[in-house]
């Protein structure tokens, strides 16, 4: 985790004495907006692909609502089916 001094948090906008850099999106964020355990900001934490966790989501599964990245969701017309619901299909 890289620490930088005196930069406004890119998420909440508060100017703080130190920020941490999110390893997923590179945003400099304050301690309140940073999930120390994962080393990522809360925006990325909440938007990560629920299947792989490695990439940010680009869609929500129309069947189960899971947020998934481009690798773990298939577009079917305007809708998306995640890999898990796709596997469940008869």
Partner 1 sequence: MSDTVLHLGFDDIDSPTGGCTTHFTSLLVEDLEGFGVRWLDYPGLVRLNPGIPYRTRGNGAVVLRLSVDGARLEEIVDLVKTRVESYANLEYPNTNPGFVMVRGDVPERVRRFSERALWRSLPIELASRIIQREKLVHHGFGNRRGLIGALASVGNKLTEDYTFEFIAYRSPEACGHERGVDWDSVARMDSVLRPQVFANIDSSNSQVLVEPHGPDPVLFGVRGENPDAVKRGGLMVRSHQAVERWMIFRTNQATGAHLTHEMTIDTLRPYMAAKVRASVSKRARIIEGGHVIFGIADDTGEVDCAVYEPTGEFRDTANRLMVGDRVVIHGSVRPASRTHPMTLNVEGVEVVALTPKIRVSNPLCARCGKRMKSAGRGKGFKCDNCGHRERNGEKVRTTLERTLTVGLYLPPPRAQRHLTRPFERPEKGNMGVPVKMIDEWHRP
Binding site residues, partner 1, CB under 8 A: 10-13, 24-27, 32-33, 41-47, 54-62, 64-67, 69-71, 79
Query: Rounded CA gap, 84 and 89, in Å?
Result: 9
Beta carbon of residue 26, minimum distance to partner 1 (angstroms, whole number): 7
DSSP states of the chain: --EEES-B-TTT--B-SEEEE-TTT--EE-GGGEETTTTEEHHHHHHB-TTTSSSB--EE-TTT--EE-TTSEEEETTEEEEHHHHHH--
Q: Give 18 or 75: the residue with its C-beta nearer to partner 1.
A: 75
Smallest gap from residue 69 Cβ to partner 1 (A): 6
**In the complex, least distance from residue 36 CB atom to partner 1, rounded to whole angstroms:** 13
43 vs 74 by CB, closer to partner 1? 43
């Amino acid at each position: 985790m890289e620490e930088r001094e005196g930069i406004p948090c890119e998420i909440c906008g508060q100017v703080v004495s130190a920020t941490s850099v999110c390893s997923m999106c590179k945003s400099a964020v304050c301690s309140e907006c940073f999930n120390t355990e994962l080393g990522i900001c809360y925006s990325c934490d909440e938007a990560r692909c629920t299947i792989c966790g490695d990439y940010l989501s680009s869609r929500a599964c129309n069947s189960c609502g899971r947020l998934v990245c481009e690798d773990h969701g298939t577009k079917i017309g305007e809708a998306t089916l995640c890999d898990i619901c796709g596997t469940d299909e008869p």
